């Protein structure tokens, strides 16, 4: 049985009611040749999440846990950027927004592409949260999901906003802290402290894989 300070005693993951969210693992954010990297952003921490995320996906698939991947998309002719009187984040850094729709920048990183196939569910989004104006919440409710495992980039933007929105919708949240990153270790750590204090259980990937494997063992013996 799991022993973790943020989980109840004898906690056992229910794999049939759990989904893995893979947030924005795209070239624009995780590749050295992506738009963030080319604009001088340190993407090394985000790139380092690829292997932990891969481990979570493979483990989830073995247990029959749904994996839902978000794809962040921006459009060059998005008039909402021009409507801001205060400069939006997409225009504050570098040459413009990353992950423009229908470009290499918006594609899933090569290392994860072999897994970006059925049964993966694709959730396209245009804002930080995986829930905002997307089909995600409907999909999860249709599948009877109550617990979300969160992974991906970047910590204090799309990931943290999604964590908060998941908690607001009464999902239990398990946060894979080493399968999540941003360009700043300090920003990542602060975000994880807040998440661990208020919104869910922050755990290492290997701990989460242990929960997943334990859930499979329990299911076999039921």
Active-site residue numbers? 24, 125, 158
Name 139's Cβ contacts closer than 8 Å, sequence gap at least 6.
Answer: 68, 121, 123
Note whether 112 and 57 are within 8 A (CB). yes
Q: Could you give the count of Cα atoms lying within 13 Å of 165 in the half-sphere of its Cβ?
A: 18
CB atoms within 10 A of CB 1: 10
| Closest residue by Cα to residue 211 from 15, 6, 8, 9 | 15
CA distance 208 to 194: 19
């Amino acid at each position: 049985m799991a022993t973790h300070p943020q989980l109840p005693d004898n906690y056992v993951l229910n794999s049939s009611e759990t989904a893995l969210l893979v947030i924005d693992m795209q070239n624009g954010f995780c590749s050295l040749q992506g738009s963030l990297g080319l604009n001088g952003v340190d993407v090394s921490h985000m790139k380092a999440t690829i292997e932990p995320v891969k481990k979570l996906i493979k483990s989830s698939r073995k247990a029959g846990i749904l994996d839902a991947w978000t794809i962040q998309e921006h459009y060059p002719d998005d008039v909402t950027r021009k409507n801001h009187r205060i400069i939006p984040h997409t225009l504050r850094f570098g040459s413009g927004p990353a992950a423009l729709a229908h470009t290499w920048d918006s594609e899933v990183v090569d290392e994860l592409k072999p897994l970006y196939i059925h049964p993966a569910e694709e959730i396209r989004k245009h804002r930080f949260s995986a829930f905002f104006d997307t089909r995600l919440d409907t999909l999860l409710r249709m599948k009877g999901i109550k617990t979300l495992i969160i992974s991906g980039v970047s910590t204090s933007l799309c990931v943290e906003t999604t964590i908060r929105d998941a908690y607001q919708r009464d999902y239990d949240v398990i946060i894979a802290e080493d399968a999540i990153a941003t360009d700043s270790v300090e920003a990542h750590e602060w975000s994880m402290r807040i998440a661990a204090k208020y919104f869910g259980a922050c755990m290492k990937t290997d701990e989460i894989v242990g929960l997943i494997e334990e859930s499979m063992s329990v299911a076999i013996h039921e």
